Structure 1
Amino acid sequence: MKNSTVVFLSTKRNVAICFLAALFVTGCAKINDISTNLDAENFKEYFSPTKVKIVDSEKDLVGKYKLLGLVEGESCQEKAHHAAPNEIDARTEARGKAYKLGANAIIFSQCVMIDDDKAAKYCLASTVCYGRAYQVEQIK
């Protein structure tokens, strides 16, 4: 019993020493050279889809409006263990593209699921949503 207690205490002491050594080494490391992608432009692009409202039909567009173009968004499942493609991600990508055109509204015409037989070479499956991007004076 005494030998197993000594071995246990010795092992516990070794772990504690290793932990403290690692903490000491990382505590003294120079961390001034951190590079991030945080800047105002990235935030504008990250939240841009939220500035494009999804509208059901042209009847909901009030006042002057202008069709800026057609956009599409894709949600891709690249590997079998990745999440399945979905309409939410595809619509969000399309809204981001509409924002880049200067739109503040989008009308989706359809979303289609493409299985592995028809998907692009890099996707096992994908969902693609198609829409029309509008610049609208007022939205209901």
Structure 2
Amino acid sequence: MKYLLPASLIILLSACAGEYAFNSNLDGEAINDYFKVGDVTLYEGSIQPKGPYEIKGLVEGETCQIGESDAPASIVEARTLARRAAADKQANGVVIKNCLLIEESTPNCVTRALCVGQAIVTTTAQE
């Protein structure tokens, strides 16, 4: 009996040891895609890029409030989507030209927010 308890504990504990792999539903590329917006500098209003830059193309971001009970369309979210579009063009900045909040209801959206800008690549370090 005095050897049975320690032996059974050793067998029980050794059954828990092994090669286990961690599986997650999070995709590494999806995380990188989510945070790539942080690499794009937003230039709007009086904050403009200093020094030379290359224009990569036009970008836009649009949000839509589909139903009355949904969150209202947001210019902040539209700007973020424009920054994501700029990151997709390998830009490190976006110059917002115009943002518009449309509160007139349509069959598809209760409210809409739209931001349009230029995706740019700055050639010097920005402050």
TM over 0.5: yes
Q: Deviations along 1:68-122, whole A, 9 cap, x unmatched?
A: 01111012101000111111100000100000001111111111112344x5x43
Aligned position for 1:7: none
Distance 1:55 1:68 in 2: 15
Distance 2:29 2:39 in 1: 15
Aligned position for 1:40: 28
Question: CA RMSD for the aligned pairs?
Answer: 2.3
Gaps of 5+ in 1: 1-33
- Between structures 1 and 2, the one with greater helix share: 1
Q: Deviations along 1:35-92, whole A, 9 cap, x unmatched?
A: 72x1211011101111111123798434441000111101210100011111110000
Q: What SS class does the counterpart of residue 120 from structure 2 fall into?
A: strand
TM-score by length of 2: 0.72
Gaps of 5+ in 2: 1-22
Q: What SS class does the counterpart of residue 62 from structure 2 fall into?
A: strand
Aligned position for 1:73: 61
Identity of aligned residues (%): 31
